[in-house]
Structure 1
Amino acid sequence: MFKETALQALKENGYKITKPREWIIEYLEGNKNHPTALEIFDDIRKNDKSISFATVYNTLETLVKSGIINEISVDSQSSRFDPDTSEHIHFVCVKCKKVSDIYNSSFGEFLKNIPGKVNGYNVIIKGECEDCVEKS
């Protein structure tokens, strides 16, 4: 479903469906690792596929603008990308930069107390993941 929706979004925005764009979408489908553009670029190239970093970056930008994926700002220098656009919270480790999903139904209860209509949310909680805490 993700692949079809993403490809349709590209078409609707006037983009041709090229093999490199398909590879990016296939890479993201079901991906829970919140990869950076560089990680996507490197991993696709490891499979002997010819792709430019500009294609990766521009395709990700288009998918974000189309609402197909979410961009998560980890710090001022890097973003990660999440194909899961359902409403959830992200926990970002300030040491290793790992991003984890938190699905919390009680946050929905909190939103009910907002004086107005909530159309969605993007919450990022920053701290140290369990692995980094154990290493300290």
Structure 2
Amino acid sequence: VKEQNPTLSLATIYKNIILMQENNILVEVPIVNKKSKYEIRKSKHIHYICLNCASIEDYEISFDEQVSSLNLPHKEGFEVTDTQINLYGYCSKCH
């Protein structure tokens, strides 16, 4: 980005990331012991995240069915507005 827009500041980039998150355009994907990555919000899916190389693989699932099959307890007075499932381990290259 810096090569195409040399006057673009890091603060502007971070402000835009926050704005896009607030408007449900971007989703933060936290990586253990590394910087988070961001992706465009798309259909519900799970992430397989490598603890070594930080690669992220998306896996499409029937999200509502899969999550409801976990039989999670209902928390009185708590409304779930979003979910994200991240599975951490080692990819085939790092295993």
TM > 0.5: yes
Q: State TM-score, norm by structure 2.
A: 0.76
Confirm whether residue 110 of structure 1 aligns to residue 66 of structure 2.
yes
Q: State TM-score, norm by structure 1.
A: 0.56
In the TM superposition, what whole-angstrom CA distance separates every residue of 1:81-116 from its partner, at most 9, and x where no partner exists? 0103321111110000111111112x4323234455
Q: How do 1:96-107 residues align onto structure 2 when only pairs under 5 Å count?
A: 96-105=53-62, 107=63
Deviation, 1:79, is 0.8
Confirm whether residue 92 of structure 1 aligns to residue 32 of structure 2.
no
Closer, same or farther in 2 for the Cα pair 1:130/1:77, shift >3 Å? Answer: closer
Secondary structure (helix, strand or coil) at the match of 1:131 reads coil
Deviation, 1:77, is 4.2
Secondary structure (helix, strand or coil) at the match of 2:13 reads helix
In 2, Cα distance between the equivalents of 1:119 and 1:63? 17
Percent identity of paired positions between Structure 1 and Structure 2: 26
- Amino acid of the residue matched to residue 18 of structure 2? E
Q: How do 1:53-72 residues align onto structure 2 when only pairs under 5 Å count?
A: 53-72=10-29
In 1, Cα distance between the equivalents of 2:72 and 2:32? 28
- Amino acid of the residue matched to residue 49 of structure 1? N
Conserved in 2, the CA contact under 8 Å of 1:71 and 1:82? yes
In 2, Cα distance between the equivalents of 1:94 and 1:77? 9
Higher relative contact order (CA 8 A, sep 6+): 2
Aligned Cα RMSD in Å? 2.1
Segments of 5+ residues of structure 1 without an aligned counterpart are 1-43
Deviation, 1:75, is 2.3
